[in-house]
Structure 1
């Protein structure tokens, strides 16, 4: 009896994941402007009405994808900060994670395509802001260990500058970008700059 109850739920979860995966692939390979509910349905060989059973509108579909990416991103950030490391090592590991993440389609192209929705979709904009705040929260905590006498205002300012550098580096070192071949050297300089700001 329990199995009979779980099967429809499992099927629904699996179908939802397939829809999100198809949406993710379409954004990566075709861009935000090409994304429509009909095209997602066609990609999965399902009717539009069936797709709308899972996601009633394009906005709800995008919101669900943003939520999934946000959860993965924050989990990745937390995993990189290990208790046994010095604060400087934690900050360096954090910078390395950002640089590495930009080497994936999900960490670069997909994120940039999702950013395209922030001007028209308040939910997406809010979730992107939450992701950035999670990043600053971790950086603030690390800076606080490096410079324990800093005020809250100083910690926030330093964290904002450092996370801005972390996010901006992807524009240059992601695959196909101007400094992609120099990514290792750029990332090492990024680590050194972040540590210097934290200590200042």
Structure 2
């Protein structure tokens, strides 16, 4: 059974033991604050420089830490990049929770509000840069792939639930296909051809219309 939004955020932000934050051992308040600071800075690097900027030395300089102190918390590059993935993924999900889109009682309003949130994120250069970096990491490393994949599966599940609610007689495979197609449509709001490309006017509205048609949200209107 898919996890809830709250449960997934908790999973990303904690670890196997109570002394972990984002999977990193940090038993004291001071150490937890240090880990949070490092990961905040790492996400900023991901947003401005990409994955290539996430070296231990560069991050240690940015955080004004000794390299040995940084490596005390993150023993390997994979451990650092996995924690960054968990931190950035949790932050996006917390934004979704704060928006309240998934708590709207009316199904169509909830569907549109959720797509609005996703399209707002997709068209924001900073958010798009972070998402691109996470996708890159998830293609190459098992740790990032596991946690980024869990976040992506959650978003697909949200769409599956709404598609199934609009059309209760659809086979499960068709519901999943529709959910994945809608997720792909939403991604096209972002700078798919780079920052020099200006999306055509009205693209957002067109995507919302197409997504509604695919989901069956326009039936009976």
Which bracket does the TM-score occupy, shorter chain normalised? 0.7 to 0.9
1:99 maps to which residue? 119
Cα shift at 1:36:
0.7
Higher relative contact order (CA 8 A, sep 6+): 1
1:135 maps to which residue? 155
1:60 equivalent to 2:79? Answer yes
1:138-165 Cα shifts (integer Å, max 9, x gaps): 1111111111111211111111111111
Cα shift at 1:172:
4.4
Residues 34 and 125 of structure 1: CA distance in aligned 2, closer, same or farther (over 3 Å): same
Cα shift at 1:60:
0.8
1:192 maps to which residue? 209
SS of match in other structure, 1:170 = coil
1:112-170 Cα shifts (integer Å, max 9, x gaps): 12222223201212222222211111111111111111121111111111111122332
The separation in 2 between residues aligned to 1:124 and 1:98, in whole angstroms, is 21
The separation in 2 between residues aligned to 1:83 and 1:186, in whole angstroms, is 25
Residues 151 and 104 of structure 1: CA distance in aligned 2, closer, same or farther (over 3 Å): same
Q: Is the 8 A contact 2:189 2:199 kept in 1?
A: no
How many residue pairs match? The answer is 189
SS of match in other structure, 1:108 = helix
Q: Is the 8 A contact 2:164 2:175 kept in 1?
A: yes
TM-score (norm 1): 0.84
List alignment gaps of at least 5 residues for structure 2. 1-26
The separation in 1 between residues aligned to 2:53 and 2:84, in whole angstroms, is 16
After superposition, where does 1:37-116 map in structure 2 within 5 Å?
Answer: 37-78=56-97, 79-85=100-106, 87-116=107-136
1:31 equivalent to 2:46? Answer no
Cα shift at 1:17:
1.1
- Extract structure 1 runs of 4+ deviating beyond 6 A: none
2:178 maps to which residue? 158
The separation in 1 between residues aligned to 2:164 and 2:196, in whole angstroms, is 34
Residues 162 and 41 of structure 1: CA distance in aligned 2, closer, same or farther (over 3 Å): same
List alignment gaps of at least 5 residues for structure 1. 1-7
Q: CA RMSD for the aligned pairs?
A: 2.3
Of the three residues 15, 22, 34, the one matched with 2:41 is 22
The separation in 1 between residues aligned to 2:71 and 2:129, in whole angstroms, is 26
SS of match in other structure, 1:118 = helix
The separation in 2 between residues aligned to 1:83 and 1:26, in whole angstroms, is 35
